[in-house]
Amino acid sequence: MSGVLDATCVTDLAHDVGAVAALGMLDRFLAMLPGRVERLHRAVAAGNRAELRDATLSLECSATMLGAHRLAALCGECRKHAEVPAELEQVVAITGSALASLRRRLSAER
């Protein structure tokens, strides 16, 4: 699945806030990703639209900032249809791997 990550967003972020801050944002995003995805599942299972809105917007905004546009789009679909898209787990895994790889590359360039 190609196109899950626009690495220029992270490069631009590093330029704007500095490499150390951008790496920290990547680290926090990756650490929080499993919990955020679980939060989506719980909100959908419970039928809690307010929690689903908050969970999807939180993940969608941070994913967009880091260039994970496919993941962000899936969050929007989840919020709109109140169901977890079938491809979410696959996109999360691929996005996480791509971000971790980008993080390693950026760290090595410092």
DSSP of 3-14, one letter per residue?
-S--HHHHHHHH
Q: How many distinct structural domains can be found in the chain? A: 1
**Does a structural domain hold residue 22?**
yes
- 22 close to 13: Cβ distance less than 8 angstroms: yes
CATH number for the domain spanning 82: value is 1.20.120
Q: Tokens 């969050």 correspond to what residue?
A: 75
Residue 77 is predicted with a pLDDT of 97
- Distance in angstroms (rounded) separating the CA atoms of residues 29 and 2: 20
Whole-number pLDDT of residue 109: 81
1 inside domain: no
Domain range for 17 is 7-103
- For residue 57, being part of any structural domain is answered with yes
At 2 the pLDDT is 55
Q: Does 48 map to a domain?
A: yes
**pTM score, whole prediction:** 0.93
- pLDDT tens-digit profile, the chain (110 residues): 458 899 999 999 999 999 999 999 999 999 999 999 999 999 999 999 999 999 999 999 999 999 999 999 999 999 999 999 999 999 999 999 999 999 999 888 87
9: number of Cβ within 10 Å:
17
Half-sphere exposure of 83 (CA within 13 A, CB side): 4
